[in-house]
Amino acid sequence: MSEPELLERLRRLEIETPSWGYGNSGTRFHVYPWPGAARDVWERVSDAALVHELTGCCPSVALHIPWDAVEDYGALRRFAEERGLRLGAINPNLFGDDSYRLGSICNPDPAVRARALAHCRECVEIAREVGSAIVSLWLADGTNYPGQDDLRDRHARLLDGLGEVYAQLDPGMRMLVEYKFFEPAFYSTDLPDWGTAALACRGLGPQAQVLVDTGHHPQGTNIEQIVALLLAEGLLGGFHFNNRKYADDDLIVGAIDPFELFRIMCEIARGDADDVAFMIDQSHNVEGKIDAMIQSVVNIQTAYAKALLVDRPRLHAAQQEGDVLGAHRLLMDAYETDVRPLLASLRDDPVEAFRAGGYAERLARARGVASVESAYETT
């Protein structure tokens, strides 16, 4: 691939950042406030617009409801557009209410299920108002002990609930279904893996697809193989990019295993991924909010640039000839290439631009340090 072709592919890469990544947030243990962290949705959108300004590839920001709820979504949409930003995926909160102790749409109580589905319908309506085509679902539903609930009944409730949400979608909208193999449910999780999510989506119809969170897998999982299979089946809807060393998933994407991120992006670069939504899902706890988000964007760009460098014809020939080492070396040649000069021709180092530009200091002076009581926890 020629350099102009590479640059054009890189220019087409769009990465959505999450509103919840710009405010104070933390773990189940504590929330550490950060000077200048966004205090409300308006400031979160403003910070997302700054990230887009510095990177040139983050034109949308995801919203989490009710964290980002406002009275006038038209006003919020205009506020974003005035800053060169779109409002992106709408994420219902189906875990933060006391009534969800035993689950949301899989809860044995029909009144709780009705409440959860009403919230999902509200989020579909919000998507309409802000011009978003994506509703992204993650459920904390599951059980902690054997015998706590009937596993088949819970699966039936899951399918019924997802079907009700799917029926609310307008033509052109998509519902992305995320899976997580454990936490907060420690015995069974109602959407534990990509296979369960894929089965549900296939039963729902073409507007339902699987969302792969790169941190939500057991150790050693071959995530790129999951990506390859979902692409082959037309079921890959999007990513939530992040990273983890052990179990939690809010580290900067590519911080722990950049080679894994490269391998995932190789499947994307191979083709058939034009409609896949690239979204970040991170809540930075002990580092700055904005420059950490920018670093995630840079790491995704870097991995994608290297993936585009793979010599596909030679790789295919080596694979067909059974040249195991030759094929592996071709992949490693691309991975070991320094693509920083290539990316520099697209934009300056955005992390350095943020740090040298005094943005953090100005935000800290203007906003101070928000109280942790106003912060929220994320998954």
Give dist(CA 263, CA 96) in Å, integer: 34
Position 379 scores a pLDDT of: 38
Confidence of residue 20 (pLDDT cuts 50, 70, 90): very high
Position 378 scores a pLDDT of: 40
CB atoms within 10 A of CB 222: 11
Give a yes or no: residue 106 inside a domain: yes
Least confident of 152-156, 278-282, 283-287, 334-338: 283-287
Position 2 scores a pLDDT of: 85
Say whether pLDDT at 138 is over 70: yes
SS3 189: strand
Say whether pLDDT at 371 is over 70: no
Read off the pLDDT of each residue in 335-364 and give the average, rounded to a whole number: 96
Read off the pLDDT of each residue in 54-76 and give the average, rounded to a whole number: 98
pLDDT tens column, 44-59:
999 999 999 999 999 9
Give dist(CA 320, CA 327) in Å, integer: 10
Least confident of 23-37, 72-86, 142-156, 173-187: 23-37
Give dist(CA 334, CA 306) in Å, integer: 5
Which two structure tokens, joined as six digits, stand for 171? 């033509």
Give a yes or no: residue 317 inside a domain: no
**Closest C-alpha among 51, 26, 7 to residue 298:** 51
Say whether pLDDT at 26 is over 80: no
Query: What residues have CB less than 8 Å from 62, skipping those under 6 apart?
Result: 16, 17, 18, 19, 88, 89, 90, 91, 136, 279
Give start and end residues of each alpha helix (H) in the chain: 3-11, 41-55, 73-82, 110-130, 151-166, 194-204, 223-232, 258-269, 290-308, 312-320, 324-335, 340-344, 350-356, 359-367
What's the number of CA atoms in the CB half-sphere (13 Å) around residue 31? Answer: 17
b/e map of 231-245 (b: 16 or more CB within 10 Å)? beeebbbbbbbbbbe
Position 247 scores a pLDDT of: 85
Beta bridge partner(s), residue 266? none
Confidence of residue 372 (pLDDT cuts 50, 70, 90): low
Beta bridge partner(s), residue 210? 177, 236
Yes or no: say if 239 and 277 are a contact pair by the CB < 8 Å rule.
yes
Say whether pLDDT at 375 is over 50: no
Give dist(CA 238, CA 236) in Å, integer: 6
Position 32 scores a pLDDT of: 86
Give a yes or no: residue 123 inside a domain: yes
Give a yes or no: residue 331 inside a domain: no
Say whether pLDDT at 374 is over 80: no
Structural domain total, the chain: 1
Position 376 scores a pLDDT of: 43
Give a yes or no: residue 147 inside a domain: yes
pLDDT tens column, 350-369:
999 999 999 999 999 999 88
Give a yes or no: residue 321 inside a domain: no
In which element (H, E) is residue 142 found?
strand 142-143
Work out the mean pLDDT of the chain and round it to a whole number.
95
Confidence of residue 377 (pLDDT cuts 50, 70, 90): very low
pLDDT tens column, 155-165:
999 999 999 99
Query: What residues have CB less than 8 Å from 154, skipping those under 6 apart?
Result: 103, 106, 141, 143, 188, 190
Give a yes or no: residue 40 inside a domain: yes
Query: What residues have CB less than 8 Å from 286, skipping those under 6 apart?
Result: 32
Q: Cis link prior to 350 (omega < 30° from 0)?
A: no
What's the number of CA atoms in the CB half-sphere (13 Å) around residue 66? Answer: 7
CATH of the domain at 251: 3.20.20.150
Query: What residues have CB less than 8 Å from 200, skipping those under 6 apart?
Result: 158, 159, 162, 177, 191, 208
Query: What residues have CB less than 8 Å from 203, skipping those under 6 apart?
Result: 159
Position 49 scores a pLDDT of: 98
Beta bridge partner(s), residue 212? 239
Give dist(CA 205, CA 263) in Å, integer: 29
Domain hosting residue 190, numbered range: 9-308+348-374
Give a yes or no: residue 298 inside a domain: yes
